[in-house]
Chain A
Amino acid sequence: MNEADYEQAVATYYEALYAFGYSLAGNADDAGELTQETYCRLLTKGGQLRDPSKVKSWLFTTLYRVFLGWKKRQTRLPHFEISSVEAELPVIKPEHVDVLEIDAVREALLGLEEHYRVPVTLFYLNDQSYEEIAALLEVPVGTVMSRLSRAKGMLREQWVMRAIRGERENKILPLERKSKS
């Protein structure tokens, strides 16, 4: 990989990669290290990349593999079908998100188990197609979407709890209760 290509790859993807690394590792130091190691591998092994359009996928996949390599153990998490979780989603409006501190958004994300955190992070980073996310995780697209659905539900539960606490303290907007119909 020549200098210009490398610099282009850094300029274009390092922020999203860092964010992805942060969501995996849960702290800034490890996020930086994961990002650095990923680009280090791009420098040493990027010559094998024949198709420049694959750089993005290659970087995200490599970072994820590096992270998995760091982990001592892997846990298997239960698989949820979309239909089983939708009803759990509480009603939450954009205004409720507006009053959340950005740290609260991140903390809620980091509170999710990795199985859910990875697809929902990639969903909100807006950088990859579902096919790319599925390829990265080595699961079918349907599984990505079911995990995403579950993850969004869990995030909202946390924000609702936070909103209820804030509501009691008259800090933020009242929640709309979900109708039973």
Chain B
Amino acid sequence: MRRTVALLIVILAVLILGILGYQIGHRIVLNAEIQQRIRTLPGLEVFSHLNGERFDMSALDPHRAVVIMHFHSDCAFCKVQVEDVLNHPELIASTSWVLISSEQVDSLRVFEQKNQLGAYPFIFLLHDDQRKFPELFGTGLFPVTYIYNRNTRLITNFRGQVKASAIYRAITAQDDTVRSRSESEATIYRRIPASRGDIPAVDADLAEQIH
């Protein structure tokens, strides 16, 4: 009797392992595809402006870094991060910001009004009507921030709220590291945690430049 129970447990365990194994394999392949795709700035035409027009990538200034932030106007952390960014003039001056949210256009308009986003030529507030963001970037979290340099290469990303100064440091440290790597920059780099190894930080970029 007890032996039968043991046998049943083993069969059940093998079944679960099989199902999990398949799901894991599938997910790994999917994630690898996503990582490959977002290594360089992906096309953002699936998102639209609040007036319904699709986003045109040529609106981005080629001399500016691009920061993509997925957010929701009800999320306190998102609000604090956006306010923090708007209070950081150097960051605003050196980047194009793409704020993407899947909430209703009406609440986005309210958000735009409240923060006077229309006054900034390089801050774009986009609506994700088809919920394409998770498909494109592999996560539906908010706030999540992806930072691309002027060469449309991904520098790093931040899951969760992050200070505007940390974003700024990521961008400027990157500019300098491409030319030379000094001890202090390496320290700044260490303090900014790249995501868990799956999206390579600048090192990969640097390596490619050298080769």
Task: Judge: A and B partners, yes or no.
Answer: no
